[in-house]
Structure 1
Amino acid sequence: MSQFLPFKQQIVDAAQKLTKKGYLMATGGNLSVRIAGQNAFAITPSNYDYLKMTADDVCVLDFDLNPLEGGRKPSVESGMHGAIYQTRADVNAVVHTHQVYASALALIRLPIPALFDEQTIFLGRRVAVIPYAPSGTARLKDTIARHVNDHNNAYLMQNHGALCFGHNLERAAHNVEILEKCALAYLLALCTGEKVSKIPLAARELAFAKLRKDQKKVELGEDGNGEE
């Protein structure tokens, strides 16, 4: 049995759940998981139906994007994923989606402030907008790497979609759902023309301090990405 099989199966399970919930559409988006103990990650293949995908279709690459396993072409945004893992030692899973409401805010370059407790607990201080760069390019990889070192776990990608991180793939997938709830609620609140209330600064910073404490445990290998 392949040493990478448990990680590849995590990719399949998460991708199919996110597809059935409407966060991944057609072949758009991509997701990856760090291979524990190695400078490598498993990632979805390029332009392949998630509902037909099996573990054999998932690609494994090292951080230099050399293929370690898998016969299919890896996602064109593999470089972006590799850059995130090298920039953020606390991140063990990355989900990139084209989810509708988060994408709407990305189109108008509107970051999401701290609105809900669960947002500040799991996503961070705010959801920032990362400037546009063409999909699958070195420019995108470099742009992402420069903007994700603030230790938040969700970002909007201008004219593109959204990024969510987690200490494992289950957490990253849950963060996708939290992000979409926040994006939809924020858009609806803005439509009223009324002032949108935000979480008090002290509460936001307390939650972020707890998030950073948990992230540092992951960086030290105390709560990493196992094979569950």
Structure 2
Amino acid sequence: MELHPGAKIVYVDETGFNLYTMRTRGRAPVGERAIRTVCGSKGANTSVIAAISDQHADGVLYYEVVQGGVNREKFANFMQSLSAIIGEDDPIKIVMDNAPCHHNIGQLVVMPDNQEVVKLPPWSPFLNPIENCFSVMKSAAKRRLAEEQPRLNSREAATAAGFTVKAWRDELLRQAIVYSMGAVTQEKVANEYQFANWHVPACAA
């Protein structure tokens, strides 16, 4: 059983990142503590709005990195771009949760007839494959930020790159986010789709 037999399904959601998106565990010789010097400020929040498809070669069909949280305007702009990328050929269900920024999105965005917005039931993250994909992204971003830690704290590196320290840290965070997208493979997305579909019969009962 599938959520929408006969239609291609795209899942959309958003999540936040900041410089506190760091590993909380490390390794050290026996008897010693694992100590790491980290950035004292978490920096500005950065959000990712993403769409996944189990039929897209890269898993992540489209994404945008935006400063701050996601409001209705930012989400509507994302959806307009996503709609253009999807095109008008096959029937598409664009599935999302009931977050405030998703409210009435079908009225805010001009979409062709083959595209339909579908809302998930409240409190049903297990029906949204993108949730676990975000976990994979954040794990990859944590690894990247751990590798970049010396540069995050380097005023010299920021100056050499032509950034203020704050802008430099924001840029390294953005790079870590872009890097993390590669961790969401088509195989991973397909597995998450299968997991979500497994829950459908119980929800429909």
TM-score normalised by L of structure 2:
0.26
Larger Rg, first or second structure (1 or 2):
2
Greater relative contact order (CA < 8 Å, ≥ 6 in sequence): 2
